């Protein structure tokens, strides 16, 4: 029988934060005036000689100040709370399309943008399309207005992104609050209150692959929620996808599996373990995907199309290839 490699001690440090120890200064990184000037110069060049956004390369521009800013984002997402909010692009000086070009350039200084769907789609528009969720349909919760529980993006794939980036272009009329929780803090809480269930969380669960697979391939993916390398704890938080995965396989969760999932959900419901962020247009949120769970509250949108909540997502990963499967 294989011995599970588990983290069996509580972890302290900046990555294992709770709400009472963080302030906005811990996660906000200011886009300096020098960096904005560099981006304005990029915009001037692109207006004179347009280029497809997927071809934009930071190496083609003078971006010394931007590199310093993104180095600080990297520090916060690797050595700090494991997330950062870049504040912010001057949206009144550019079109939405131009903001996406600058977003691509800045994000490319952190890591390489990779495909978010099997068809090679690089950008993902996070907005309510009116679609309804159904296991195996390929409809992701991000294109609805429903409450999104804490999760790590693409937990149902072999190679999830290292970072999840979100550019805010428009906020909702009500709700749509971004929430973040430390994977280490979740694990600490489970170790303290549900240590008997932790071994189950290190064994595989079935995840709904959201139809991101070729015809004839399995609709589900097997992986544990927690992995410990001996130095680093990584998570695949995605309770909705796990429940759907078992439904797709027509399998009943056993009592231990149900109890383990319930324990994780109970930790998610503890407000003292999370922070809530109000996005502003032009801000960019960068999350260390395997170390931070992110969520979103249900929202009510504006009636006008141009005012509806709209975030643009990038997945960033230097590991593997740029295709969806890495």
Confidence band, pLDDT 50/70/90 cuts, at residue 138 = confident
pLDDT number for residue 139: 73
**Which CA distances in Å does 194 have to 64, 152, 185, 254, 256?**
48, 21, 13, 17, 12
Per-residue pLDDT tens over the stretch 251-261: 999 999 999 99
Confidence band, pLDDT 50/70/90 cuts, at residue 131 = confident
The domain segmentation of the chain, as residue ranges, is 19-316
Strand 174-175 versus strand 292-296 pairing type: unpaired
pLDDT number for residue 143: 86
pLDDT beyond 60 at 1: no
Confidence band, pLDDT 50/70/90 cuts, at residue 2 = low
In terms of Cβ atoms closer than 10 Å to its own Cβ (0-12, 13-18, 19+), residue 4 is middle
pLDDT number for residue 137: 76
144 vs 49, residue with greater confidence: 49
- Please give the DSSP secondary-structure letter assigned to residue 254: P
Per-residue pLDDT tens over the stretch 272-295: 999 999 899 999 999 999 999 999
The pLDDT of 112-129, averaged and rounded, is: 97
The pLDDT of 64-82, averaged and rounded, is: 99
pLDDT beyond 70 at 84: yes
Per-residue pLDDT tens over the stretch 162-196: 999 999 999 999 999 999 999 999 999 999 999 99
Architecture of domain 19-316: 4-Layer Sandwich (3.60)
Per-residue pLDDT tens over the stretch 208-249: 999 999 999 999 999 999 999 999 999 999 999 999 999 999
- Please give the DSSP secondary-structure letter assigned to residue 3: P
């Amino acid at each position: 029988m294989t011995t599970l490699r588990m983290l069996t001690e509580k972890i302290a440090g900046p990555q294992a934060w709770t709400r009472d120890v963080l302030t906005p200064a811990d996660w906000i990184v200011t886009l300096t005036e020098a960096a904005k000037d560099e981006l304005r110069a990029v915009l001037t060049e692109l207006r004179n000689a347009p280029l497809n956004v997927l071809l934009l390369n930071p190496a083609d521009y003078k971006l010394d100040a931007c590199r310093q800013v993104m180095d600080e984002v990297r520090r916060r997402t690797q050595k700090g709370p494991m997330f950062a909010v870049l504040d912010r692009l001057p949206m009144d000086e550019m079109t939405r399309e131009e903001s996406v070009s600058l977003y691509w350039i800045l994000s490319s200084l952190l890591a390489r943008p990779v495909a978010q769907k099997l068809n090679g789609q690089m950008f993902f528009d996070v907005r309510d399309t009116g679609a309804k969720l159904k296991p195996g349909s390929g409809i992701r919760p991000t294109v609805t207005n429903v409450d999104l529980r804490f999760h790590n993006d693409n937990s149902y794939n072999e190679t999830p992104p290292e970072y999840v980036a979100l550019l805010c272009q428009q906020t909702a009329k009500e709700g749509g609050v971004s929430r973040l929780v430390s994977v280490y803090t979740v694990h600490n809480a489970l170790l303290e209150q549900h240590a008997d269930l932790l071994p189950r969380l290190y064994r595989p669960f079935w995840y709904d692959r959201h139809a991101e697979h070729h015809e004839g391939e399995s609709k589900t993916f097997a992986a544990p929620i927690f992995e410990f390398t001996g130095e680093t704890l990584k998570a695949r938080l995605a309770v909705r996808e796990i429940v759907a995965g078992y439904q797709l396989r027509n399998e009943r969760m056993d009592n231990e599996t149900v109890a383990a999932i319930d324990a994780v959900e109970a930790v998610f419901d503890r407000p003292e373990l999370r922070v809530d962020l109000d996005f502003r247009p032009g801000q960019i949120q960068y999350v260390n995907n395997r170390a931070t769970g992110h969520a979103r509250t249900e929202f009510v949108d504006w009636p006008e199309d141009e005012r509806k909540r709209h975030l643009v997502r990038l997945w960033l990963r230097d590991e593997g290839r740029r295709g969806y499967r890495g």
